Amino acid sequence: MALIDAPEQTADGKTAPTVSFVSLGCPKALVDSERILTQLRAEGYGITRSHHGADLVIVNTCGFLDSAKAESLAAIGDAMAENGKVIVTGCMGAQPEEIRGHFPGVLAVTGPQQYETVVAAVHEAAPPAHDPFVDLVPPQGLKLTPRHYAYLKISEGCNNRCSFCIIPQLRGDLVSRPAAEVMREAEKLVKAGVKELLVISQDTSAYGVDIRYAESPWRDQPLKAKFADLSGALGELGVWVRMHYVYPYPHVDEVIPLMAERKILPYLDIPFQHASPRVLKAMRRPGNQDKTLERIRRWREICPDITLRSTFIVGFPGETDEDFELLLDWLAEAQLDRVGCFQYEPVQGATANGLGLEAVPDTVKAQRHKRFMAAQQAISTRKLKAKVGKRLPVIIDEAGPSVAKGRSMADAPEIDGNVYVASRRPLRQGDIVTVKIERSDAYDLHGVAV
Ligand code: SF4
């Protein structure tokens, strides 16, 4: 059995139960998984990667797209077949009938963020071996990410109502964590050796709106629960701080100088989703793309090497050829560094399905996706080529005998490219080294440690 963390033996020699865990979905779901695992580990449970021989399996599901649902159902099916004692949580847990329809034998189904309910279900199925004298968990909690980077979730839920998205139905309205609580978690992570914090939420720039930007005491000073204030405080911790899921609201401009000063990474992950005003309106997305282009121009004036990453949806109902051409023109003008593109999927329960707009045929969606990706690939290749000859700081993700794999400030883990680093001296995971870039391809850079 591949144990991640072995169960404790209690004073009377009994071994605590083991739990196998499957974590699917986005970084937000990953943070939920970490919280559940941290709690279970604190109670002495062993954590294993193998369903076989575990006392039970927890599957943290993702229900955002139909393809994610299918993956979740397959994972539950595997767990039922290999183990049989299964607890389901996460986004798909908000639709228990669907899960029970497929797998009537699951032990419990809970929705997203219902940590206590998951833990209570575990207690019932495999009671913990009680040993109050042992402190099993490191103060920063258990992380599923490698030790040198960690996700920092600053809020739950979302106040927007984008018509293609069911996250607000699944996760509710925005609930922001107090700024001091976020900072305490960030500080613990840094003390435990984390070198890069990835700030996540559903809508990072809306942070604090729900609690009216309430102040809380941090290092003897009041700290506002506000995107710019929190960014400034995180920037004082001396590690890389990367911002995800930011919307181009006007107050985002306030953090660009922090990026220029390298207090936080010059990196913004902004899901624009489209550029045609008609499609954006049907999507119920905030923002006017002309003003956004203007804003991007200003950001680049203040911080010329800012990296902009985004995601787009093609084939949204009612998207015409004209809308799509407009999107390509916008993309050519915006010159974003990193881009992901999805073909629209009519997620069950999304308001977009009831707008009466004509569905785009799958073949057209696929063609548009291909054209979009080809256009972006040309931009990305050009942008990466411009980095050849530069010296860039690179964080090492994986050591290797002669070539290590890392990321520059422009690359978030999992979603962006890599920097392959040749080095005479051994590089360790989490090292930040200066790399002279020698060549590039469409997504990655290659260089040598100096
Ligand atoms: S901003 Fe829109 S897409 Fe993102 S979680 Fe909120 S409703 Fe969904």
- 176 touches ligand 1 (CB under 6 Å): no
Taking CA atoms only, the protein residue closest to ligand 1 atom 4 is 202
Which ligand 1 atom minimizes the distance to the CA of 285? 2
Q: What atom of ligand 1 comes closest to residue 273's alpha carbon?
A: 3
- Residues 142/133, Cβ–Cβ less than 8 Å: no
168, pLDDT greater than 90? no
CA distances for 204 relative to 110, 152, 162, 228, 243, angstroms: 26, 11, 15, 10, 8
With 70 as the cut, is the pLDDT of residue 5 above it? no
Q: Which atom of ligand 1 is nearest to the CA of 165?
A: 8
Q: Tell me the CA–centroid distance for residue 425 and ligand 1, in Å.
A: 45
| pLDDT on residue 422 | 96
pLDDT at 26 over 90: no
Between 45 and 439, whose confidence is greater?
439
What is the structure's pLDDT at 7?
52
Provide the pLDDT for residue 14: 56
| Overall average pLDDT of the 261-283 stretch | 94
Band of pLDDT at residue 95, cut at 50, 70 and 90: confident
Ligand 1 centroid, distance to 284 Cα (angstroms): 10
Q: Does 165 carry a binding-site annotation?
A: yes
**Ligand 1 within 6 A of CB of 162:** yes
Average pLDDT over all residues of the chain: 88
Q: How far apart are CA 141 and CA 220, in angstroms?
A: 25
- First and final C-alpha spacing in the chain: 42
Contact 371, 332 (CB under 8 A): no
Q: How far is the CA of 374 from the centre of ligand 1 (A)?
A: 27
CA distance 359 to 357: 6
Q: CA 29, 151, 253, 386 torsion: positive or negative?
A: negative
For residue 62, say whether it is annotated as part of any ligand binding site: yes
Q: Among the atoms of ligand 1, which is closest to the Cα of residue 161?
A: 7
pLDDT at 429: 92
Cα of 202 vs centre of ligand 1, distance in Å, is 6
Question: What Rg, from alpha-carbon coordinates, does the chain have?
Answer: 23
Ligand 1 within 6 A of 335 CB?
no
Take residue 218 and report the two structure tokens written for it.
Answer: 């941090």
Atom of ligand 1 lying closest to residue 284 CA = 2
pLDDT recorded at residue 2: 43
**160-173: average pLDDT:** 88
Torsion angle defined by CA atoms of residues 299, 433, 450 and 448, in that order, rounded to the nearest 10 degrees = -80
> What is the per-residue pLDDT for 166?
86
- Does residue 158 have its Cβ closer than 6 Å to ligand 1? yes
Query: What is the rounded average pLDDT of the residues 165-170?
Result: 85
27 or 345, higher pLDDT: 345
State what percent of residues in the chain have pLDDT above 70.
92
In whole angstroms, give the CA distance from residue 392 to residue 446. Answer: 11
pLDDT top residue among 387 and 141? 387
CB contact set of 327 (below 8 Å; sequence gap of 6+)? 274, 275, 276, 279, 312, 314, 372
Q: Could you give the C-alpha distances from 41 to 1, 8, 83, 115, 130, in angstroms and in order?
A: 17, 9, 20, 13, 12
Spacing, Cα 160 to ligand 1 middle (Å):
6
Residues 182-204 have a mean pLDDT of 94
- Rounded to the nearest angstrom, the distance between the alpha carbon of 243 and the centre of ligand 1 is 16
3-state SS, 24-55, equals CCCHHHHHHHHHHHHHHHHCCCEEECCCCCCC
Nearest CA to ligand 1 atom 1: 160
Q: For 306-324, how does the pLDDT look when each residue is reduced to its tens digit (9 = 90+)?
A: 999 999 999 999 999 999 9
- The position carrying tokens 């309106």 is 281
Q: Is position 341 annotated in a ligand binding site? A: no
Can you tell me the mean pLDDT for 13-27? 80
pLDDT at residue 139, rounded to an integer: 63
- Measure 283 CA to ligand 1 centroid, in angstroms: 10
Which whole number is the average pLDDT over 154-178? Answer: 90
Residue 450: the pLDDT is 94
Nearest CA to ligand 1 atom 8: 165
Q: Is 108 left (phi over 0), alpha (psi -120 to 50) or beta?
A: beta
Q: Is the CB of 167 under 6 A from ligand 1?
A: yes
Which amino acid, one-letter code, is at 134?
Answer: V
pLDDT digits (tens, 9 = 90+) for 206-244: 999 999 999 999 999 999 999 999 999 999 999 999 999
With beta carbons less than 8 A apart as the criterion, state whether 305 and 258 touch: no
**What confidence score (pLDDT) does residue 137 get?**
57
- 26 known ligand binder: yes
pLDDT for residue 144 is more than 70? yes
Rounded to whole angstroms, the Cα distance separating 242 from 270 reads: 12
Determine if ligand 1 sits within 6 Å of the CB of residue 160: yes
CB of 172 sitting under 6 A from ligand 1: no
Q: Per the annotation, does 303 bind a ligand?
A: no
Ligand 1 atom closest to the Cα of residue 158 is 6
In sequence order, the 6+-apart residues with CB closer than 8 A to the CB of 38 are: 137, 141, 142
Instruction: Tell me the pLDDT tens digit for each residue of 330-371.
Output: 999 999 999 999 999 888 888 998 888 999 999 999 999 999
Contact criterion met (CB below 8 Å) for 3 and 40 = no
Q: Which helix (H) or strand (E) covers residue 123, if one does?
A: helix 115-125
Q: Tell me how far apart the alpha carbons of residues 353 and 2 are, in angstroms, rounded to a whole number.
A: 44
Secondary structure, 3-state, 206-256: HCCHHHCCCEEEECCEEEECCHHHHHHHHHHHCCEEEECCCCCCHHHHHHH
Q: What is the pLDDT of residue 435?
A: 98
* Ligand 1: nearest atom to the Cα of 202: 5
Q: How far is the CA of 171 from the centre of ligand 1 (A)?
A: 10
Token pair of 287, please? 């923002």
Q: pLDDT per residue over 32-81, tens digit each? A: 888 888 778 777 788 887 898 899 999 998 877 788 888 899 999 999 99
In one-letter notation, the amino acid at residue 278 is R
Q: Say if residue 91 carries a ligand binding annotation.
A: yes
Identify the weakest region by mean pLDDT among 18-27, 221-230, 364-373, 380-389. Answer: 18-27
